[in-house]
Chains A and B, each alone.
Chain A
């Protein structure tokens, strides 16, 4: 950015940085919208003609043409793109080709379910990750050693196995929740566990690696030599510097929470973004897919923006002078090494 000699804590870098990021975000979102459109247009077929030309329906060619014209699918691709884009800029997401319902209604109906699941899964993931990380430093040696295997175990058990196992035990055998009441608190709790477990693995890996790193530092050795107990050392000295990179990991797992939600939602019978995407992909429901891609792009951009802006506030060692991306690079370092180890 070339901003070098500015007084400390000047608002300028924040402002420029934020404006730049917001413009970037808008461009990313628009590109995502167009890209989705083009990719799906390249695929053969669309849901409307696929149904109409099914011989079972026995429509005449004239009927097919008129219905296709109603959906506007008879016009050149670039005209369709232009119209979709102008509607989008005005905030109109169009109408689903599959269900004939407004896309905004469809997304509005399922968004809540996914947000609830993603947030509860994140809470579960963090609780698990911090629990495991604490254990690795404070539990007796054999337990601590075993706990170190948990992240790789969590990553290697497929999401659906965890989900089916939880349903089998807690819904069908113990009767703790009803499969029918899939959005209820009990069912949501278990779905959050299924989704949170793999996410917790990544957070735990980073935490453990960072704790190990911090524990090797001189200050930690010094504190121990002065008689500080393990748990006091953990809480007072190791935890804070080790947790900062977790913020970055959380930003990266947002994608996993949205994507992984598909499998969890399918197994738990929840109706969220994941299941909407699944239905829309199998039927090539373009307007819905475009809207979901845009939504995902917005979420990613916003989460990353928030992380980048919050970072300097959390860590006094990082400031925005010089390069805006400096905090990210620092934070990603431990992540890369641990991912290499667990792969």
Chain B
């Protein structure tokens, strides 16, 4: 039989080629432009949102940080305040608030008439129960605290049914903005008292949002339907009463090309996380691409100042000047991405433009490396006393484009004389092996959202259980001083100049190497879908959305 093999193989190859050509043909020729709406707003309607994952657990406190479940929580629950994409804080369930002079005590005045979907009121007692569980969790029962909730939290008390007083043991200017973060969702106290296993069942998680959970299937889909008696949306969204859409269906489709093709063919209205390179043709066909930026740190490297070669400021600066950000933007991303101007995203209130401190300048980078004693050998690779100038990058598994970006960075630094190695891990292994300050991690790739620039103070040094991103401890007095000034600020006006100085200092010392601003949530939408809003953590909200006929 062996003589037939080559012929069989040839036939198979031919048939496979034909099949692929057919498939490609169908993909490109089947659909023309996108069907545009007629400009008429429809009442009701159903929207299908295709998503690549629905995260892990639905225990409200444990799931909050996930980038996927926030989509559901944003519709099923309300928050005390609303934070828009520019970091502007405005009233929601909390109608107004006051703070004392040293920002250690806050009084929240709640809106009257807000109810959870089981009918129980969202009153001061309910808010106190939520604040307590956000701050402390129930660790012995497997309920985590909310990671970003201020550790300075002392207690909350219900002064009257619509007034809550919250105390902190140190100035906590970030408290109010944190109430708009995706972890700070108001859940019925009855749900909060349930054991972890029952909270993990999404149907038991009662919120006060414009939608309720109609049905859900683990790892498959969540169907939400509008709550007719909802009438307490955020003022900033300028929309009264219940949502316009009848239902929202979040359906898990793991394959990105199936998600986008389903939107293209009209079977779904939104595809989450399409690959950036794929977007150009869709835009030309008239589809909507939304690339909202979140509030947070830019994508970049926090350098470990205690290990060679980054224990030398000149090498750190050389890396800053050796990276061509425009090339990253044009190769990996589209026009919707912006270069970094600082180490925090430019839409964060208090962010200032320091791009000159780390502008692409390969000649300057080469001079800095020469000065630092790293000389280029015959092969162009630099070394000092026989030690090669080497660096290992660990792409951040939470950012899909991270590996492509790191590959470009490796190339660019390679041109400069670095020997760059890339080590990619999955989420669990990454969490285990790649930690800030680990001697084998010279550059930690940051992708992180926050809601208030005060968060910056908590990462710079190890003061107050800080994360110590640059492995400096408190050995840099100026950085420690600036950090504590930011942390102890009692008003944003007072904080702004310090924050500006701090950004300049961190960048001039080469502690942080910014790459690009982050768009972690990317949406491809049907042109008939209008009125979608994006909050400060870039989640699409369909409370105000509607379909055109």
**A-to-B contact residues, CB < 8 Å:** 44-47, 49-60, 63, 66-67, 69-71, 95, 98-102, 105-106, 109-110, 146, 148-149, 152-153, 156-157, 161, 164-165, 167-169, 171-173, 175, 178-180, 182, 266-267, 269, 271, 275-276, 279, 282-284, 341
What is the CA–CA distance of A110 and B252 in the complex, to the nearest angstrom? 14
Q: Is the CB of A99 within 8 A of B30?
A: no
**Residue contact A153 to B218, C-beta cutoff 8 Å:** no
CA of A279 to CA of B427 in the docked complex: distance in angstroms?
A: 12
Decide if B261 touches A44 in the complex (CB within 8 Å).
no
Contact B219 A100 (CB under 8 A): no
B56 on the A face (CB < 8 A): yes
Q: In the complex, identify which listed stretch (B115-123, B139-147, B329-337) lies at the interface while the others stay far away.
A: B139-147
Question: A residues within 8 A CB of B27?
Answer: 168
Distance between Cα atoms of A179 and B11 in the complex (Å): 32
Does B218 contact A106, Cβ atoms closer than 8 Å?
A: yes
A146 to B8, CA, bound (A): 9
Q: A47-B428, A57-B147, A99-B58 are in contact. List 10 more A-B contacts (CB 8 A).
A: A54-B431, A56-B65, A58-B458, A58-B467, A101-B218, A156-B12, A157-B16, A164-B255, A271-B217, A282-B428
Residue B378 interfacial (CB < 8 Å): no
Closest to B444 in A: A55
Interfacial chain B residues near A284, Cβ < 8 Å: 428
The reply on B42 being an interface residue by CB < 8 A is no
Which residues on the A side are within 8 Å of B145 (C-beta)?
A: 59, 63
Contact partners of B251 in chain A: CB under 8 A:
180, 182, 269
Beta-carbon contact of B1 and A167 below 8 Å: no
CA distance A286 to B428 in the complex (A): 13
State A80–B435 Cα separation when bound (angstroms). Answer: 27
Chain A residues contacting B262 (CB-CB under 8 Å) are: 171-172, 179-180
- Asked if B253 and A59 sit within 8 Å, CB to CB, the answer is no
Which of the candidate stretches B263-271, B413-421, B492-500 sits at the interface with the other chain?
B263-271
Pairs A-B, 9 closest by C-beta atoms: A57-B147, A100-B200, A66-B139, A271-B220, A50-B431, A45-B432, A172-B265, A70-B142, A269-B253
Taking the closest CB of chain A, its distance from the CB of B195, in whole angstroms, is: 10
Residue among A59, A102, A109 facing the most chain B CB atoms (10 A cut-off): A59
Give chain B's interface residue range (CB within 8 Å of chain A): 35 or more
A271 and B252 contact, CB distance less than 8 A: yes
Q: Are A100 and B253 in contact (CB under 8 A)?
A: no
Interface string of B426-465 (1 = CB under 8 A from A): 1111011101100000000000100000000010000001
Which of A98, A100, A109, A180 has a CB less than 8 Å from the CB of B196?
A: A100
What is the CA–CA distance of A71 and B57 in the complex, to the nearest angstrom? 14
Q: Per a CB cutoff under 8 Å, which of A58, A110, A279 touches B148?
A: A58
In the bound complex, how far is the Cα of B458 from the Cα of A164, in angstroms? 47
Please tell me which one of the listed residues B20, B140, B201, B431 contacts residue A70 in the complex, with CB atoms under 8 A apart: B140
State how many angstroms separate the Cβ of A278 from the closest Cβ of chain B. 8
* Interchain CA distance A57-B137 in the complex, whole Å: 13
Q: C-beta contact mask, B238-269 vs A, less than 8 Å → 1, else 0?
A: 00000000000101111101100110110110
Is B38 an interface residue when CB atoms closer than 8 A count as contact? no
Asked if A165 and B253 sit within 8 Å, CB to CB, the answer is no
Chain B residue nearest in CB terms to A155: B12
**Contact status B267-A101, CB under 8 Å:** no
Chain B residue nearest to A162 in the complex (CB) = B19
Say yes or no: A266 contacts B255, CB within 8 Å: yes
- CB of B219 within 8 A of CB of A275, answer yes
Docked-complex contact B30 and A173, CB < 8 angstroms: yes
B8 contacts which of A67, A149, A182, A267 (Cβ < 8 Å)? A149
Contacts of A98 in B (CB 8 A): 56-57
Q: B254, A153: Cβ atoms under 8 Å?
A: no
A95 contacts across to B, CB distance below 8 A = 197
Tell me whether A171 and B267 are in contact in the complex, defined as CB-CB below 8 angstroms, given that A266-B254, A271-B219, A271-B252 are known contacts: yes
A-contacting residues, B41-99, CB 8 Å: 48, 50, 56-59, 62, 65
CA distance A93 to B93 in the complex (A): 42
Nearest A-chain residue to B48, judged by Cβ: A180
Q: How far is the CB of A23 from chain B (nearest CB, A)?
A: 35
Partner of B23, one of A110, A168, A180: A168
Q: Which chain B positions have C-beta within 8 A of A69?
A: 140
